[in-house]
């Protein structure tokens, strides 16, 4: 993926850009908002990672400017501003995701992947298939190897989210935010218990494990 | 001293004094004018009567008989002045010099009679054979009277100015003293004596109201300051322990670990420590933010029934793993005003505590009902409960009951609950379920 990072802190900038390069992304790094706007509107990017507090034009301003001139590149805010309302402000300005500093690198990678590939996998498909698992998004039914699996609405949303990010690592907080719409971390194994319940239900139809636990990162739905 | 002239109280007093003097002057002018007019009219009436009497005495008689009557009157009527002249202006009788024959009321100033100069007011009439009769009175008494009124007025005005300025100075001094008292106390508070408060006079006037508002403000500021101080003490105290542990681990690693595998293990453990410190830190920040926030402006109507069911659903699998049952006794259609996300966090925390601290196969009951005086939510469990003397302490930051010290957790959960509750003006009470705990949340 071709990613533009706007970050004024040298340490964080190096940490993020080096790490993402190792993950196989192509990275460009701007150190202030003005440079960020120029580069972001100058060429095609798959993702913008913005710090909220950067010199010249702040992160919010950058997003507003870009959205104003029709640049629809996904934006991920990466910021130490973690107030109750900061997140809402950021998303309202036109950002697609918000990650508070300090963060685990696995969390960043998961979110970058989720954002970058999202546009290519939009609502075109109505049936998602992973091995012998079929998820019908229209009728909201799930079947495995022909057996219909009865899921509660929230379980369906959990599976749907995992399936939409098939093959990608999805973190606990991403699940909390997107499946339960929780902006806080309950710090207990709430997510684990929901996932293991879902696993148990999926195991009824076939024996092969589809939801994989990625240590220190999260979960991944894939056929392997 | 000079400050008094700059006070608004004094300026106001000056303004009032000005208005008072102006109305005093206006009042005087009206009195003076109407008195003068009244006296003039009195005089005119007297003169007219005199003339009417003369006319009736003569009754179409000749000028000669008129001349006799006027001459007689001139001798016998002191105070009156007469003039009778023929149409050529020759004086026929009376004690006044000749004048232009003007019919009607005439004011004549500076009339020279013998060695006196008089001011006269009188009436002229035209009689048979073009004779002209003038009867007048000396206006000296009138003028004396008017001067007396004017003099009284001047004294009155001086007294008015004097009294209004004096009372103005007095009022502004008194007000200034009370304002001074307020600003003295404020200054002392600014200088660090946060316990100082403005004393009330008990008169229940505007100054007392102001003092009460200021005192309330000072209380709030002191509360916030205490909160902040508490947070910093807590951070210093409770972050020092994990930081010390972290430091020791790094030191040990540097000393002992010499292969990549043990370095990796040590680093993983270190990362975990750092993460838990960061979690504690952000929880503390969040509590502090809630305690000082003005989030009420963003409150909306929240579907409490749905919110509670979401929270239950969130913890249902966890409870299932412990073979606990969550019983739901929630009325439909309960709504409250608040911040959905924060309220969800509140109930999630309470429910999480119930699930975590209750033993296997425990019963957890979540009830919500609308009562006459508000909505009540209760979360009951039959776990170990909290001893009565600890029930206020558990809301303090970092406080953890002895048995749970070894289990993971920051000791900040209930502090967060309390912070969210006080933002919403909700009361959270801990009661005994005998055995177990009831957390009762009351929406006012």
pLDDT digits (tens, 9 = 90+) for B21-71: 888 889 888 988 998 888 889 888 988 988 888 888 776 667 778 888 888
B428 contacts: CB under 8 Å, gap ≥ 6: B395, B417, B418, B421, B439, B440, B441, B442
Q: Kindly indicate the confidence band of residue B402, based on its pLDDT and cuts at 50, 70 and 90.
A: low
Q: Peptide bond before A102: cis, by omega within 30 degrees of 0?
A: yes
- How far apart, in whole angstroms, are the C-alpha atoms of residue A116 and residue A46? 6
Asked if the C-beta of A200 comes within 8 angstroms of chain B's C-beta atoms, the answer is no
Higher pLDDT, B233 or B404: B233
What does the pLDDT read at residue B356?
A: 85
Of B310, B321, B341, the CB nearest to A183: B341
Of B285, B314, B408, the CB nearest to A190: B314
Q: Residue B392 pLDDT > 80, yes or no?
A: no
Burial of B16 (0-12, 13-18, 19+ CB in 10 A): middle
Cβ distance B412 to B284 under 8 Å? yes
Flag if A180 and B345 touch (Cβ within 8 Å).
Answer: no
- How far apart, in whole angstroms, are the C-alpha atoms of residue A104 and residue A169? 13
Distances (CA, A) of B14 to A114, B79, B144: 75, 49, 34
Asked if the C-beta of A153 comes within 8 angstroms of chain B's C-beta atoms, the answer is no
Note the maximum CA span of chain B.
159
Please, what is the average pLDDT of chain B?
Answer: 82
**List of chain A residues whose C-beta atoms are within 8 Å of the C-beta of residue B289:** 83-84
Asked if the C-beta of A157 comes within 8 angstroms of chain B's C-beta atoms, the answer is no
* Domain at A2-120, CATH from 2.40.30.10, 3.30.1330.60, 1.10.8.50, 3.40.50.2300: 3.40.50.2300
Take residue A136 and report the two structure tokens written for it: 């019908």
What does the pLDDT read at residue B59?
A: 67
DSSP tag of B335:
E
Cβ distance A131 to A209 under 8 Å? no
Take residue B188 and report the two structure tokens written for it: 């002392």
Flag if A182 and B344 touch (Cβ within 8 Å).
Answer: yes
Take residue B159 and report the two structure tokens written for it: 């007294």
- Chain B: closest CA distance from residue A40 (Å): 32
**List of chain B residues whose C-beta atoms are within 8 Å of the C-beta of residue A194:** 317
Phi and psi at B204, nearest 5°, equal 60, 30
B409 contacts: CB under 8 Å, gap ≥ 6: A187, B356, B400
Helix intervals (H) in B59-139: 63-76
- How far apart, in whole angstroms, are the C-alpha atoms of residue B151 and residue B28? 11
Of the listed ranges B116-130, B172-186, B308-322, B407-421, the one predicted with least confidence = B407-421
How are strands ordered across the β-sheet holding B91-94? B91-94, B80-85, B132-138, B116-126, B104-113
- How far apart, in whole angstroms, are the C-alpha atoms of residue B352 and residue B407? 13
Take residue A144 and report the two structure tokens written for it: 């495995």
**List of chain B residues whose C-beta atoms are within 8 Å of the C-beta of residue A182:** 314, 341, 344-345, 348
Residues 305-334 of B with CB under 8 A from A: 310, 313-315, 317-318, 320-321
A104 contacts: CB under 8 Å, gap ≥ 6: A216, A217, B275
The domain ranges of chain A are 2-120, 123-221
Flag if B341 and A196 touch (Cβ within 8 Å).
Answer: no
Asked if the C-beta of B352 comes within 8 angstroms of chain A's C-beta atoms, the answer is yes
- How far apart, in whole angstroms, are the C-alpha atoms of residue A93 and residue A95? 6
pLDDT tens for chain A, 224 residues long, are: 889 999 888 888 888 998 889 888 889 888 888 888 888 888 888 888 988 888 888 888 888 888 888 888 889 988 887 776 787 888 888 888 888 888 888 888 888 888 875 555 455 678 888 888 888 888 888 888 888 888 888 889 999 899 888 888 898 888 888 888 887 777 678 888 899 889 888 887 666 788 888 887 889 888 87
DSSP secondary structure, A147-163, as one string: EEE---HHHHHHHHHHH
Q: What percent of chain B has pLDDT above 70?
A: 93
Strands A26-30 and A2-6: parallel
Asked if the C-beta of A190 comes within 8 angstroms of chain B's C-beta atoms, the answer is yes
A-B contacts (CB, under 8 Å)? 54
- How far apart, in whole angstroms, are the C-alpha atoms of residue B366 and residue B348? 12
- Report all structural domains of chain B as residue ranges with CATH numbers, in order of start: 6-146 (3.30.450), 206-292 (1.10.287), 295-443 (3.30.565.10)
Flag if A180 and B314 touch (Cβ within 8 Å).
Answer: yes
Closest CA to A104 of A18, A167, A11, A16: A16
- The CATH fold of domain A123-221: Arc Repressor Mutant, subunit A (1.10.10)
Cβ distance B435 to B362 under 8 Å? no
DSSP tag of A3:
E
Higher pLDDT, B37 or B282: B37
* Mutation choice for A interface testing from B307, B315, B318, B322 by most A CBs within 10 A: B318
Closest CA to A20 of A82, A88, A103, A122: A103
- How far apart, in whole angstroms, are the C-alpha atoms of residue A96 and residue A48? 10
Helix intervals (H) in B85-205: 140-190
Query: In A150-209, at which residue ranges do the beta strands (DSSP E only) sit?
Result: 170-171
Closest CA to B424 of B443, B407, B437: B443
Flag if B352 and A186 touch (Cβ within 8 Å).
Answer: yes
Secondary structure (3-state) at A128: strand
Q: How many CB atoms lie within 10 A of CB B256?
A: 10
Take residue B223 and report the two structure tokens written for it: 């509360």
End-to-end CA distance of chain B: 54
Which run of H or E residues covers position B201? none
B125 contacts: CB under 8 Å, gap ≥ 6: B51, B55, B103, B132, B133, B134
Flag if A84 and B356 touch (Cβ within 8 Å).
Answer: no
Q: Kindly indicate the confidence band of residue B210, based on its pLDDT and cuts at 50, 70 and 90.
A: confident
Flag if B352 and A180 touch (Cβ within 8 Å).
Answer: no
């Amino acid at each position: 993926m071709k990613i533009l990072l706007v970050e004024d802190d040298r340490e964080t900038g190096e940490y993020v850009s080096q790490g993402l390069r190792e993950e196989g992304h192509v990275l460009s790094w701007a150190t202030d908002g003005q440079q960020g706007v120029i580069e972001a509107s100058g060429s095609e990017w798959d993702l913008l990672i913005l710090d909220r507090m950067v010199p010249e034009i702040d992160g919010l301003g950058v997003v507003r400017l870009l959205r104003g001139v029709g640049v629809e590149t996904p934006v991920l805010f990466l910021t130490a501003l973690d107030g109750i309302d900061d997140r809402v402000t950021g998303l309202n300005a036109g950002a697609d995701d918000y990650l508070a500093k300090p963060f685990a690198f696995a969390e960043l990678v998961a979110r970058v992947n989720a954002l970058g590939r999202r546009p290519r996998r939009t609502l075109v498909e109505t049936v998602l298939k992973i091995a012998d698992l079929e998820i019908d998004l229209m009728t909201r039914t799930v079947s495995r190897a022909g057996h219909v699996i009865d899921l509660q609405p929230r379980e369906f949303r959990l599976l749907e989210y995992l399936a939409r990010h098939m093959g990608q690592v999805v973190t606990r907080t991403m699940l909390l935010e997107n499946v339960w719409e929780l902006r806080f971390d309950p710090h207990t194994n709430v997510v684990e218990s929901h996932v293991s319940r879902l696993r148990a239900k999926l195991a009824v139809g076939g024996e092969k494990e589809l939801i994989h636990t990625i240590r220190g990162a999260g979960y991944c739905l894939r056929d392997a | 001293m000079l400050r008094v002239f700059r006070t608004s109280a004094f300026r106001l007093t000056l303004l009032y004094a000005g208005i008072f003097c102006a109305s005093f002057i206006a009042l005087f002018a009206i009195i003076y004018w109407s008195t003068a007019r009244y006296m003039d009219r009195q005089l005119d009436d007297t003169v007219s009567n005199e003339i009417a009497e003369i006319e009736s005495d003569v009754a179409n008689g000749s000028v000669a008989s008129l001349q006799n009557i006027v001459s007689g009157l001139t001798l016998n009527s002191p105070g009156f002045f007469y003039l009778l002249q023929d149409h050529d202006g020759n004086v026929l009788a009376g004690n006044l010099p000749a004048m232009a024959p003007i019919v009607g009321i005439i004011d004549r100033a500076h009339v020279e009679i013998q060695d006196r100069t008089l001011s006269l007011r009188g009436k002229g009439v035209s009689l048979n054979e073009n004779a002209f009769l003038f009867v007048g009175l000396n206006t000296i008494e009138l003028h004396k009277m008017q001067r007396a009124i004017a003099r009284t007025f001047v004294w009155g005005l001086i007294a008015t100015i004097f009294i209004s300025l004096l009372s103005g100075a007095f009022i502004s001094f008194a007000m200034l003293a009370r304002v001074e008292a307020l600003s003295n106390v404020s200054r002392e508070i600014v200088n660090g004596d946060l316990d100082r408060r403005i004393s009330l006079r008990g008169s229940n006037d505007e100054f007392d109201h102001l003092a009460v508002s200021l005192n309330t403000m000072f209380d709030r500021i002191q509360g916030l300051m205490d909160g902040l101080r508490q947070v910093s003490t807590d951070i210093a105290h409770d972050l020092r322990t994990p930081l010390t542990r972290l430091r020791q681990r790094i030191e040990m690693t540097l000393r002992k670990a010499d292969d990549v595998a043990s370095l990796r293990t040590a680093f993983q453990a270190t990362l975990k420590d750092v993460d838990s410190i960061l979690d504690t830190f952000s929880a503390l920040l969040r509590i502090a933010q809630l305690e000082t926030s003005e989030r009420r402006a963003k409150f909306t109507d929240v579907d409490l029934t749905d919110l509670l069911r979401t929270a239950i659903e969130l913890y249902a699998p966890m409870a299932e793993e412990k073979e606990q049952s969550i019983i739901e006794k929630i009325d439909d259609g309960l709504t409250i005003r608040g911040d959905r996300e924060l309220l969800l966090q509140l109930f999630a925390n309470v429910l999480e505590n119930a699930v975590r601290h209750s033993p296997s196969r425990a019963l957890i009951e979540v009830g919500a009902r609308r009562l006459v005086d508000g909505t009540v939510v209760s979360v009951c469990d039959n776990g170990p409960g909290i001893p009565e003397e600890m029930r206020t302490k558990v809301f303090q930051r970092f406080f953890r009951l002895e048995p749970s010290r070894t289990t993971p957790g920051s000791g900040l959960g209930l502090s967060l609950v309390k912070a969210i509750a006080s933002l919403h003006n909700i009361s959270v009470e801990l009661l005994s379920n005998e055995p177990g705990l009831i957390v009762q949340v009351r929406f006012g």
